[in-house]
Each structure stands twice: as C-alpha cells, then as structure tokens.
Amino acid sequence: MESTISGVGVIDKAAAILSAVADEPLALAGLVEATGLARPTAHRLATALECHGLIRRDPDGRFALGAQLLALGHAASRSWPLAEAANFALGGLRDQTGESAQLYVRQGDRRVCLASLESGHGLRTIVDTGEILPLGLGSGGRVLLEEVGPDGWLASVEERQQGVASVSAPVVDAAGRVVAAVGVSGPIQRLTRDPGPRFGPAVVAAAVSIATDAGLT
C-alpha cells in the first residue's frame, strides 16, 4: 500500500486539511468532501490541529486557518536569510527602476512570494508576502522552472495578468541551482512590450547581490 506520499499518513492528512481550509473556511462535511477522508478522521485531526492553534473555528463553527499559522509564517520569513538579503537589494532595485520588486521561491508546483516592495506610482502591481502564484505564468515563475535567456534574465508580457509585464532573474546557489527568482513588474504603459533590455541588467545585478548577501556564494 504505497498511497502515503510523505511516509507518515497522519501528516499527509493534516496537510491536506490545512490546504483545503486555506481556500475557504469549511464545515466538517465540506472538509470531508475536499480531502476524501472519513468523517470521524477528518473531525479528529481537525480538532487536534485546533488544539495547537493551527486551525480555529470561525463564528459559524466552520474550520478555518488558525492564529498559530500567522505566527509561524512570520517566524518563517524572519528565519529566511534570503528574505533578509532580498529586502535590501529589492529596495535598490525598486528605487533604480521605479517599479514594484519581488522575490519568489518555488513551493511544489507553485511559487510563493518571499518579499515584496511596491513602486511609488499610483498605478502599480501589488503582491503580498506569502501570496501564491502559478509557476508556469509570468517571468518570475518561469525563471524558477529554469527557463532563462542567454543574458540571465527573462521577460514576460501579460502572461499572468492583463496589462502587466515583468522581468525576472534567477538567484543561484554555489552549485548552480535556482533557489529563487527576483523581478520587477508593472503596467505595460511604463514597461513597454519589450521590457527585457531596459530592466534586465539591473534585475540580474540584484539577483547576484542577493545570492552574495545571503551567503550562497
């Protein structure tokens, strides 16, 4: 029976419960449907998670993500050397380009925003820390899939969102593995339909700077 993905069944189920509940608060019946677990099992695990603050009950009694996850998320970004290093370099990148700058890491078949600084313009792209975006769409995602051009950067225009363009570059570790993607994004009006040549070099420089500052050498 190799139906367990992590080697520990209970943890697979708990993770399934958390991501089911992450989409929207769910009553027990909804949780059962979303996870495929038996009703007593879903209930037992959800209440167990509730004991540890990973899940809470909303005013209607439905299961929702708990306060402990806020604390852990905060601690997670604090403990990430990459995020510390990035916040400095992203500041420079934003000031230099005048556009919003973000850092993404891969998480399974998606990407998570590790750090984000917003442009001062009224019209700007907004991505929150912790936000999830697809891997295949947008320059940041495709950089994480190792699709990089010969100049070390990759540009995309209206792939993920209408009217938005972006330029990203990989942050690589000593072994050459892509560990993150830095990028700037903004409206086509300012970035134009071919933003690569104009923003690429600055983005690549920021990526190198982040890798150095984070000690990936």
Q: Which residues bind DNA (CB under 7 A)?
A: 1, 3-4, 7-11, 13, 27-29, 37-41, 43-45, 47, 61-62
Say how far apart CA 65 and CA 72 lie, in whole Å: 12
**Which of the listed partners (DNA, a second copy, none) does 74 bind, with a CB threshold of 5 to 8 Å by partner kind?**
a second copy
Nearest residue (CB) to a second copy, 52 versus 193: 52
The two structure tokens encoding residue 60: 């209607």
The residues facing 164 across adjacent strands are 187
Minimum CB separation from a second copy for residue 65, in Å?
4
The two structure tokens encoding residue 3: 């139906």
The residues facing 113 across adjacent strands are 104
- Interface segment toward a second copy; rule CB under 8 A; list 11-19, 30-38, 194-202, 203-211: 11-19
**Which of the listed partners (DNA, a second copy, none) does 28 bind, with a CB threshold of 5 to 8 Å by partner kind?**
DNA
The residues facing 166 across adjacent strands are 156, 185
Q: CA nearest 88: which of 111, 117, 112, 113?
A: 117
Q: CA nearest 105: which of 125, 80, 69?
A: 80
134-173 mask for a second copy (x: CB under 8 A)? ---------------------------------------x
